[in-house]
A and B are shown apart, each in its own frame.
Chain A
Amino acid sequence: EDQVTQSPEALRLQEGESSSLNCSYTVSGLRGLFWYRQDPGKGPEFLFTLYSAGEEKEKERLKATLTKKESFLHITAPKPEDSATYLCAVDLDNYGQNFVFGPGTRLSVLP
C-alpha cells in the first residue's frame, strides 16, 4: 500500500535553533514529491517540488532534499513566523488522482 509518513508529529524550537523535518514514503512509483506550508485556518501554500533523488531546493530559511525513500525539510535559524504545519505529498502517476498527502509536522518556533 502506498503510504506517506511524517516525523516528528510536532516540533518545538527556539528561535535560531536549526532542525529537520522528515517525510518518508513507500510507493511503487514516484513522479514527484511536494512540500506545503499550512497556517492555522488557511489552505496549504506550495513551497517546493522535487523530482529525483539528490535534488535540492531552497527558499529563504528552508531547504528541501530528496533521497530514494525520504525527503527532508531543513530549517536553518528559524524565526517565529516559520511556525506552521508542514505537509509533504507524493504524486504517484502524473494524472493527479494519486496525490497522497502525509499527516504533517506541526512546527512551533518560540522567540
Chain B
Amino acid sequence: NAGVTQTPKFRVLKTGQSMTLLCAQDMNHEYMYWYRQDPGMGLRLIHYSVGEGTTAKGEVPDGYNVSRLKKQNFLLGLESAAPSQTSVYFCASSWTVHTQYFGPGTRLTVL
C-alpha cells in the first residue's frame, strides 16, 4: 500500500515550457487535491476533485489545469510556466472531505 505518490520529485523548467505533474493514490479515495507550498505561507489549494471525471477550482487556480480521468490519478498541468510558479507542489487524497493524506511533494523551479 503506497498511499499517495507523486511524479516527478524534482523538475527545473524554463519560462514558457509546459509540464504535467502526476499524482496517484491506491486507497480508493474519492477526493483528491493539489496544493502549493511557498516559504512563510500556508498550503494553498490550487484545484480539487470530488470524484472521477470532476474537477473544481481552489484558491489559486490561475495558470494551472487539472484532469481526473481515472479515480486513482489526478494530473496537474502547467501550460506555460512562469517564475511565480516556482514552489513545492503537494497532492492529497481523502475518503471524505476531512482527513487528507498527502504525497511527498514535487519541487518545481521555473527559471
Contact = CB atoms under 8 A, between A and B. Distances in A.
Interface string B34-49: 0000001111110010
A42 B88 CA distance: 10
B99 A43 contact: no
B108 to A, nearest CB: 14
Interface string B74-111: 00000000000000001010100111111111000000
B102 A104 contact: no
A54 interface: no
Contacts of B102: 36, 43-45
Contacts, number: 59
B98 A101 contact: no
A86 B87 CA distance: 19
A97 B56 contact: yes
A111 interface: no
Contact of A104 (B4, B42, B92): B42
Contacts of B48: 96-97
B83 to A, nearest CB: 22
Interface in A76-105: 87, 89, 91, 94-97, 99-104
B90 A4 contact: no
Interface in A1-22: 4
A5 to B, nearest CB: 10
B106 to A, nearest CB: 10
Interface in A46-97: 46, 49, 87, 89, 91, 94-97
Contact of B98 (A32, A42, A44, A103): A32
Contacts of B4: 43
25 contacts: A41-B104, A41-B105, A43-B4, A43-B102, A43-B104, A43-B105, A44-B90, A44-B102, A46-B99, A87-B42, A87-B43, A89-B42, A95-B50, A95-B97, A96-B31, A96-B48, A96-B97, A97-B56, A97-B58, A99-B33, A99-B45, A101-B44, A102-B42, A103-B42, A104-B42
Interface of B: 4, 31, 33, 40-45, 48, 50, 56, 58, 90, 92, 94, 97-105
